[in-house]
Amino acid sequence: MTSVNCAQRIAQSGVQFGTSGARGLNDGFTAQVCQAFMVAMIAQLQPRYGFSGVVVGMDNRPSSPKIAQNCISALHDLGMIVQFAGVLPTPALALYAQRNKMAAVMVTGSHIPFDRNGLKFYHPYGEIDKADEAAIVACRAVPSPMNIQPLPDPDHKISLPYLSRMLDVFPADLCAELTIGVYQHTSAGRDLYVAVLEALGAKVICLGRSSEFVPIDTEAVSERDKSLARQWACEHRLDLVFSTDGDGDRPMIADHSGHWLRGDILGLLCAKALNIEALSVPLNCTTSLELCGEFKQVRRTRIGSPYVIEQLTHLADIYPTVAGFEANGGFLLGSDVMMNDKVIERLPTRDALLPLLAIVYLARQRGVTLAQLVRQYAVRFTASNRLQGVALANSEALLVALQAQPQKLAKVLKCDGVPTISSTLDGVRFVLEDGCIVHLRQSGNAPELRCYAEASSQQQADELVEILLGALAQQVSMPVPGN
């Protein structure tokens, strides 16, 4: 009988690397598949990065404890020192690994549908890159028989460096006299955020805590969550509402009216608060970044944190302070920065908490509300949404057709002229005759067609997304294998 190597197990599982980690159906994360990922990670990353231990964390998905158990059991079989963090935000896990020169594995599906999950991998210096991903899925090591062990008790002290990173730098009265609603749902950091904000002087109202997993997508906020934010802001007279996606690396922040702010605007404001000189951002972030004139360089990348991090590395060789973020709001700090004569250490993975505190700090410095602060920098307005359950082949066929005949897009949108294709780096990005931008791409994490729009008003951007996705829904409605 021929032994099955790691590459074969991973390929047969249907679990694939997307824009942020390996993602797949829950059923794909068998003990053998989890073992294959762990064996491949150790075989491919340990010689390069020289770590002696691995710290494992997870989100609140029902499938996460079993996957964590499988991963930890496989690591023990490999003779690794393993620490189990339990449920915590992904950036908290990454920071602990960075400080302790360890690798890390986060069991999380982030925002993707309930029937799916994923794994995120870290070495002692940050997220793995695309070369590391390729090495893992190509690993031909043959796993030994596996010994499944009980899931150990979590070590909650692993979150402490993440807490101190914020509390040691920002003023102790940063949030004094502010009433902040924390939309907890099933976020991995829902209790940690309350502790941080209360320590900084805020009156915190806990909202929407759930025992059933809620797949929050910060890039496609549901109508229900939009309505809830407005209701909560009015009912509790909130100064702002804060939430995150499932694993706590993408922020959601709403102003005093309950209006959720776009993630790229949050990134812009955070970068300004931290005096960042150069930025690495994906194509779909607002062009307000260039138009506001606040940054010495803005480099555009494909969508996905590994691409943003790749350019961050290059920018760090040129500029003293660099950062990156995505349209979904996750902020990546690529260099140490000074605030209040103290250092915030670099953390080149998406973080949800730093943007919140940095933006509050900037608004307090200027004596303005969050909404007023946004108006100072939002030169252009963006919107996004998605069609779920769209097979890759259907998305690809649609994008090929529109790229060949962009006049079809103009017909759907009822706009003048023929749209110009400005980029095919990641999906297809069109510029309309009036300067508006429409961008379509297949998600790298789930069977979803993503649509992004930019315009001179929020209403126009929202309408572009609504009209286009409404028109395309029937064309890409074939079922997704496995759904």
Nearest one of 283, 348, 270 to 312, comparing CA atoms: 348
Separation between Cα atoms, residue 354 and residue 92, nearest integer Å: 11
Q: What distance in Å separates the CA atoms of residue 151 and residue 166, rounded to the nearest whole number?
A: 30
How far apart are the C-alpha atoms of 442 and 391, rounded to whole Å? 9
d(CA 173, CA 163): 16
Q: In which residue are the tokens 């100072």 written? A: 376
Cα–Cα dist 463/317, whole Å: 41
Q: What would you report as the CA-atom Rg of the chain, rounded to the nearest whole angstrom? A: 22
One-letter amino acid of 293: G
Measured CA angle at 159 (ends 157, 161), to 5 deg: 95
Distance of alpha carbon 409 from alpha carbon 462, whole angstroms: 16
Given a contact cutoff of 8 angstroms between Cβ atoms, the answer to whether 217 and 245 are in contact is: yes
What's the CA gap between 324 and 313, in Å, rounded?
10
- Angle at the Cα of 154 from the Cα atoms of 150 and 39, rounded to 5 degrees: 60
Q: Could you tell me the CA-to-CA distances from 247 to 41, 87, 150 in Å, in that order? A: 21, 9, 23
From the list 218, 209, 248, 195, the residue with the least C-alpha distance to 89 is 248
- Beta strands 203-207; 251-254: pairing state: unpaired
Please pick, among 73, 110, 243, 384, the residue that the annotation labels catalytic. Answer: 110
Biggest CA–CA distance in the chain, Å, is 72
Give 90-105 as a DSSP string.
HHHHHHHHHHTT-EEE
- Identify any residues that bridge with 382 across adjacent strands, giving them in sequence order: 454
The reply to whether 110 belongs to the active site is: yes
What are 241's strand-pairing partners? 181, 254
The sign of the dihedral angle between the CA atoms of 294, 299, 303, 305 is negative
Output the CA angle 473-476-478, nearest 5 degrees.
120
- Looking from the CA of 312 toward its CB, the CA atoms found within 13 Å total 29
Q: Are 233 and 254 in contact, with CB atoms under 8 Å apart?
A: yes
Q: Which residues are catalytic?
A: 110
